[in-house]
């Protein structure tokens, strides 16, 4: 039965109900809806707006409804308009008049704004825990492969040598920023809309501080119109999730490349790959590809949300019911992607030999050759750069590398060269000498991984870190 039956002469067309209903996607908020209602009812009782006894009865029964839903002995009515209506109707069915008092001084507008915040607070805590796990795996692998020389690329061309550990730690840094972006969004979101009513507050003497406190919010939101019309937090969280998906997508693109037979830098565990229905030799990195692909739908969620909100007049408009599918899809998708990605990275085999061979094959140490002329022979960098360019051209012509080019040929281009050049351009030295802060020297990478691991542990310990 509709809540507004008194005002209407006719029943709604079933097509109206189907179209208007949000129960299919907001029932996941039943626990948060009940939690919010318990706080509201507690406050109504303490303020004397409803009887203390009724308040208590409501809270106890709401707890039972939650337990029944948890246990699966009570099913959510798919014909209810939304989760708020369902819970209230169930409560009234069980308690009669007392149940009918719950909605005093409240609207579904502040209720839904509350429920999404509570739900997202939990979802984001789960995402953060997964992200921290992923960061820890990256650090662990980075420590293990801190001296595994591999080519670093720019423009997908071999550029300068780095280590696999250094490369992985780049992703750890991105993911740390993702965690901090989620933290920021949660901090800004953590204000309670409860008590803002439909849009204009209420004449009942509600204690909004009390409900905010009971529900773990920093404070009540300060403007009733803003409190029910605001979905900034949805956009912020979906943006944070989108950027994180972009990072995962980049990582997965590299995994796909690295496990190709052209690279063979890594081997993914069979448990995280699939085969082909026709080509018997195939082992495909489907999961990495799917994660890369799923970034698209999350970006779509963000654009959908922003577009849905952009022209809305204050305060609540039904358009805003569209927020939930977007925001839940985004957080669910990230969760879904992180779940297999973490063990996939944890179990991958790293082919140090292939990485090194790829680093040794080209002219990845050309900068180091120029740097040798600068630091050992005192040449200006621009001259050293030009000389090295000529040497590279010479090597290409003679099908040699800087390592195999004879000293006489070096000296023919620049008489300053001596035997020391071979040591200067050795891959291990090229990497270990890059000790500058943030550089790939193995000791740097190990220190960075240690610092990040400590940071992650620290975050876990911090209280109130949701
Ligand atoms: N299902 C609605 C939503 O998700 C709840 C709020 C409805 N409020 C209203 N005045 N119709 O936005």
Which atom in ligand 1 lies closest to the alpha carbon of residue 320?
A: 12
Q: What percent of the chain has pLDDT over 90?
A: 93
> What distance in angstroms lies between residue 104's CA and the mean position of ligand 1's atoms?
17
Q: Which residue out of 32, 109, 114, 319 has the highest number of ligand 1 atoms within 8 Å of its CB and is therefore the one to mutate?
A: 109
**Cβ(317) – ligand 1 distance below 6 Å:** no
- The pLDDT value given to residue 276: 85
Q: Find out whether the beta carbon of 160 lies less than 6 Å from any atom of ligand 1.
A: no
Contact indicator for 221, 191 with CB cutoff of 8 Å: yes
Question: Which residues are tagged catalytic?
Answer: 155, 276
Per-residue confidence at 463, pLDDT binned at 50, 70, 90?
A: very low
User: Residue 1 — pLDDT band, cuts 50, 70, 90?
Assistant: low
Query: What is the residue whose two structure tokens read 């039904």?
Result: 318
Please work out whether the CB of residue 115 comes within 6 Å of at least one atom of ligand 1: no
pLDDT in tens, 157-212: 999 999 999 999 999 999 999 999 999 999 999 999 999 999 999 999 999 999 99
Asked if residue 321 has its Cβ within 6 Å of ligand 1, the reply is yes
State both tokens at 404: 């195999």
The mean per-residue pLDDT over the stretch 449-461 comes to 91
- Note the pLDDT of residue 305: 98
Say if residues 211 and 39 touch (Cβ distance below 8 Å). yes
The model's pLDDT over 287-344, given as tens digits with 9 standing for 90+, comes to 999 999 999 999 999 999 999 999 999 999 999 999 999 999 999 999 999 999 999 9
User: Could you report the per-residue pLDDT of 253-298, keeping only the tens digit for each?
Assistant: 999 999 999 999 999 999 999 988 888 888 999 999 999 999 999 9
pLDDT, mean of residues 105-125:
98
Residue nearest to atom 7 of ligand 1 (CA): 108
Q: Which two tokens stand for residue 462?
A: 């911090």
Which 3 state secondary structure label does DSSP give 396?
A: helix
If you measure from the C-alpha of residue 108 to the centroid of ligand 1, how many angstroms do you get, rounded to a whole number? Answer: 6
129 falls in which pLDDT band (50, 70, 90)? very high
Tokens of 246: 């972009």
Averaged pLDDT for residues 97-122: 98
Closest C-alpha among 368, 445, 378, 410 to residue 138: 445
For residues 215 and 36, what is the distance between their CA atoms, to the nearest angstrom? 7
Cβ proximity of 130 and 335 under 8 Å: yes
Q: In terms of pTM, does the model score above 0.85?
A: yes
Instruction: Give the whole-angstrom CA distance, residue 270 versus residue 284.
Output: 9
- The predicted-structure confidence for 201-219, as pLDDT tens digits, reads as follows 999 999 999 999 999 999 9
Helix, strand, coil proportions of the chain in percent (round to 5)? 65, 5, 30
A 10 A CB-CB count for 255 gives 24
Report how far apart, in Å, the C-alpha atoms of 280 and of each of 171, 276, 277, 447 are. 34, 7, 8, 44
- Does 110 sit in the ligand 1 pocket, CB within 6 Å? no
* DSSP state, residue 313: P
Ligand 1 binding pocket includes 82 (Cβ within 6 Å): yes
In this structure, what are the phi and psi dihedrals at residue 163, rounded to the nearest 5 degrees?
Answer: -120, 160
Q: First and final CA of the chain: distance in angstroms?
A: 39
Of the pLDDT bands very low, low, confident and very high (cuts 50, 70, 90), residue 466 is: very low
Pairing of β 349-350 and β 266-267: antiparallel
Q: Give the strand pairing for 191-192 and 157-163.
A: unpaired
Q: Which of 234, 12, 230 is nearest to 109 (CA)?
A: 230
What is the DSSP code (8-state) at residue 284?
B
At which residue do the structure tokens 């063979």 appear? 264
Q: Residues, the chain, total?
A: 466
269's tokens? 């565990």
Q: Helix (H, G, I), strand (E, B), or coil: what is residue 171? A: helix
Q: Which residues contact 188 (CB under 8 A, 6 or more apart)?
A: 232, 233, 236
What tokens does 380 get?
């200006």
Task: Return d(Cα 91, Cα 61) in angstroms, integer.
Answer: 7
Q: Read out DSSP for 2-31?
A: -TTGGG-SSPPPHHHHHHH--HHHHGGGHH
Determine contact, residues 439/387, Cβ cutoff 8 Å. Answer: no
Kindly report the average pLDDT of the chain as a whole number.
96
- Alpha carbon nearest to ligand 1 atom 2, residue: 321
- pLDDT, residue 279, reads 84
| CA pair distance 24, 285, nearest whole angstrom | 34
């Amino acid at each position: 039965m509709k809540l507004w039956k008194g005002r209407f002469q006719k029943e709604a067309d079933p097509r109206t109900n189907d179209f208007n209903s949000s129960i299919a996607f907001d029932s996941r908020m039943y626990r948060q809806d009940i939690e919010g209602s318990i706080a509201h009812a507690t406050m109504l009782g303490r303020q004397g707006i409803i009887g203390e006894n009724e308040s208590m009865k409501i809270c106890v029964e709401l707890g039972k409804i939650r337990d029944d839903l948890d246990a699966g002995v009570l099913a959510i009515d798919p014909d209810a308009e939304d989760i708020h209506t369902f819970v209230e109707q169930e409560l009234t069915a069980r308690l009669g008049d007392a149940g009918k008092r719950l909605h005093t001084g409240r609207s579904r507008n502040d209720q839904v704004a509350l429920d999404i915040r509570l739900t997202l607070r939990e979802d984001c805590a789960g995402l953060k825990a997964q992200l921290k796990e992923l960061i820890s795996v990256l650090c662990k692998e980075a420590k293990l492969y801190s001296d595994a020389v591999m080519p670093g690329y720019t423009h997908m061309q071999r550029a300068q040598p780095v280590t696999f550990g250094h490369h992985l730690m780049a992703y750890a840094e991105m993911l740390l920023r993702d965690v901090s972006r989620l933290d920021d969004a949660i901090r800004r979101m953590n204000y309670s809309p409860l008590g803002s009513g439909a849009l204009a507050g209420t004449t009942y003497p509600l204690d909004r501080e009390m409900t905010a406190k009971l529900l773990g919010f920093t404070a009540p939101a300060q403007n009733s119109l803003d409190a029910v019309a605001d979905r900034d937090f949805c956009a912020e969280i979906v943006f944070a999730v989108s950027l994180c998906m972009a990072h995962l997508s980049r990582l997965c693109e590299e995994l796909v490349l690295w496990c190709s037979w052209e690279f063979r830098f890594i081997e993914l565990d069979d448990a995280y790959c699939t085969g082909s229905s026709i080509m018997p030799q195939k082992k495909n990195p489907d999961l990495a590809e799917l994660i890369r692909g799923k970034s698209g739908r999350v970006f779509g969620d963000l654009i959908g949300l922003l577009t849905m909100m952009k022209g809305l007049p204050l305060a609540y408009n039904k358009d805003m019911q569209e927020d939930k599918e977007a925001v839940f899809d985004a957080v669910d998708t990230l969760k879904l992607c992180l779940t297999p990605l973490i063990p996939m990275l944890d179990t991958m085999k790293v082919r140090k030999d292939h990485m090194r061979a790829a680093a040794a094959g080209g002219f990845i140490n050309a900068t180091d050759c120029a740097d040798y002329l600068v630091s050992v022979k005192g040449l200006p960098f621009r001259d050293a750069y030009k000389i090295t360019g000529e040497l590279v051209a010479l090597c290409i012509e003679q099908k040699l590398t800087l390592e195999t080019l004879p000293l006489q040929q070096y000296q023919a281009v620049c008489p300053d060269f001596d035997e020391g050049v071979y040591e200067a351009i050795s891959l291990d030295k090229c990497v270990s000498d890059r000790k500058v802060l943030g550089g790939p020297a193995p000791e740097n990478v190990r220190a960075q991984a240690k610092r990040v691991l400590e940071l992650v542990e620290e975050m876990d310990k911090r209280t109130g870190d949701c």
